[in-house]
A and B are shown apart, each in its own frame.
Chain A
Amino acid sequence: MRDVAIIGAGMIPFGRRDEDTLMEMLAYASLKALDDAGLGDKSVDAVYLANMGGGMLQHQSAIASSLVDRLSLLPAAADTVENGPASGASAIKNGLLAVASGYYDTVLVVGGEKMREVTGWRATDFVATMTHPQAEYPYGITLPGMAGMFTRLYMEKHGVTREHLLAVSLKNQEMGTLNPYAHVEMALDREGVFDSPHAVVNNPVSADPLHLYDLCPVSDGAAAIVICPLEMAKKLSKPPVLIAGFGQATDTHTLQERDDPTDLKAVTLAAKQALEMAKLKPSDISVAELHDAFTILEIAESEHVGFFKKGEGGKAAAAGKTRLGGQIPINLSGGLKARGHPVGATGVAQVVDIVWQLRHELPKTRQVKNAQTGLTVNFGGFGNNVLSFVLKRVEP
Chain B
Amino acid sequence: MKKEIAITAYKCRKCGKIHYPYHDRCLECKGREFEQIKPEGDVTLLAYTAIFNLPWGFDQRYLILGVAEFENHVKAMGQIKVDSVDQLKAGMKMKPSWEPVRVQYGEDVYGLKFEPME
Chain A residues near B (Cβ < 8 Å):
119-122, 124-125, 128, 132, 134-136, 138-142, 144-145, 148-150, 152-153, 156, 204-209, 252-257, 261
Chain B residues near A (Cβ < 8 Å):
19-21, 27, 46-58, 63, 65-67, 75-79, 85, 90, 101-102, 109, 111-112
Is B111 in contact with A149, judged by CB distance below 8 angstroms?
no
Cβ of A121: which chain B residues have Cβ within 8 Å of it? Answer: 54-56
Cα(A229)–Cα(B1), bound, Å: 68
Cα(A153)–Cα(B66), bound, Å: 12
Q: Which of B20, B49, B63 has the most CB of A within 10 A?
A: B49
- Residue in B27, B47, B57, B76 whose beta carbon sits within 8 Å of that of A140 in the complex: B57
Q: Which residue of A lies closest to B66 (CB)?
A: A149
Is A140 in contact with B65, judged by CB distance below 8 angstroms?
yes
Is B50 in contact with A205, judged by CB distance below 8 angstroms?
yes
Cα(A312)–Cα(B68), bound, Å: 29
Is B21 in contact with A149, judged by CB distance below 8 angstroms?
no
A-B contact count (CB 8 A): 107
Cβ of A209: which chain B residues have Cβ within 8 Å of it? Answer: 49
Cβ of A254: which chain B residues have Cβ within 8 Å of it? Answer: 21, 77
What are 18 A-B pairs at a CB distance below 8 A?
A124-B55, A125-B55, A125-B57, A128-B55, A132-B21, A139-B112, A140-B58, A140-B63, A145-B65, A148-B49, A150-B47, A152-B47, A204-B52, A205-B50, A253-B21, A256-B76, A256-B77, A257-B20
5 additional contacts (CB under 8 A) given A254-B21, A257-B19: A120-B53, A140-B54, A142-B53, A144-B53, A145-B63
Is A252 in contact with B76, judged by CB distance below 8 angstroms?
no
- Residue in B20, B27, B46, B77 whose beta carbon sits within 8 Å of that of A139 in the complex: B77
Cβ of A156: which chain B residues have Cβ within 8 Å of it? Answer: 90
Is A139 in contact with B78, judged by CB distance below 8 angstroms?
yes
Separation in Å of the B44 CB from the closest CB of chain A?
12
Is A140 in contact with B49, judged by CB distance below 8 angstroms?
no
Cβ of A144: which chain B residues have Cβ within 8 Å of it? Answer: 51, 53
Q: Which residue of B lies closest to A119 (CB)?
A: B56
Q: Given A124-B53, A142-B55, A254-B21, answer yes or no on A261-B47 (Cβ-Cβ < 8 Å).
A: yes
- Residue in B53, B67, B101 whose beta carbon sits within 8 Å of that of A256 in the complex: B67
Cα(A144)–Cα(B53), bound, Å: 9
Is A149 in contact with B57, judged by CB distance below 8 angstroms?
no
Q: Given A207-B50, A252-B27, answer yes or no on A135-B20 (Cβ-Cβ < 8 Å).
A: yes
